Amino acid sequence: MKNSSVYDRLMKILDKSQILTDEPMKNHTSFRIGGLADFIVMPNGAEQISAIVKEFHDVPLFVMGNGSNMLVSDNGIRGIVIKICENMKDISLEGNILTCQSGALLSSIASYALKNSLGGFEFASGIPGTVGGAVVMNAGAYDGEMKDVVISTVYIDENGDVHEITGDAHEFGYRKSIFSGKRWIIIENRLKLFEKPRDEIKAKMQEFAKLRRDKQPLECYSAGSIFKRPEGYYAGKLIEDAGLRGFRIGGACVSQKHCGFIVNDRNASFDDVASLIRHVQNAVEDKFGVKLETEVKICGL
């Protein structure tokens, strides 16, 4: 792949300000880990994304949101990273239905809902990601999941064509949806909320925020919960009971505060974190016979 040729083709679709070249992925992930991406592009809507997908069948495309659930190789990512966040974050309201571009942060949507006295989204107020990414993995916390509020999704398929699905067509499950593992790019989501007194919404958001501060290592670089919850267990409890609280490989460490988190404590490399993930998985399986699956998206290998 000749980067100059790719750049010239991108310039026919995007403005120069929307294209980053040889960009460190560590600047775009909450783990603060990751080598150079050949290109990071920041489209402003469906038209530009569709044009990119149709133009670059010969170049690897990788889609990301806010980078809060990613572990990227120190070798970086070849091809084009489509970052859907800063330039696609509009939120609008009609009745009790929010229409959100897929790059809107969950925290921004929660604040918007609070301002308009709409309940049902408090659970997501502290999740550090975009609504598009949250729909892909059916993100959830405390008393809610995305499946409880999403009524429709507009997306672009691998051929660059636009589609919309509603309701059960999302096929939501535990940390998955119809979008999981597919090369589809979410453009817009509609969320159905309900009227609720503003003080009650605010109180619930403050309650959840306190729980997060008390129980999660929010002061550290991480990608949130590293592992999915195994059926009948809690990943963090299994890791703690395996004696791994504070266990370290290089700059990566099992959080002292919450064993379900691995944190970048001392300028960790990708290999540090990946090795620690494998060590934790092996130790838990050896001791309890439970296989831990990663929730974090590992990419760029």
Which residues are known to be catalytic? 175, 225, 295
Q: What is the DSSP string of 11-66?
A: HTTS-GGGEEEEEEGGGGSTT----EEEEEE---SHHHHHHHHHH-TTS-EEEESS
Residue type at position 46: A
- What token pair was written down for 250? 């290089």
Sign of the Cα torsion 117, 123, 128, 131 reads negative
User: What six digits make up the tokens of 79?
Assistant: 């091809």
- Other C-beta atoms closer than 10 Å to the C-beta of 117 total 16
Question: Is there a contact between 66 and 106 (Cβ–Cβ < 8 Å)?
Answer: no
Report how far residue 148's alpha carbon sits from residue 128's, in angstroms, rounded to the nearest whole number: 19
Q: Give the list of residues 6+ apart from residue 177 with CB closer than 8 angstroms, or none.
A: 135, 136, 137, 138, 146, 147, 170, 171
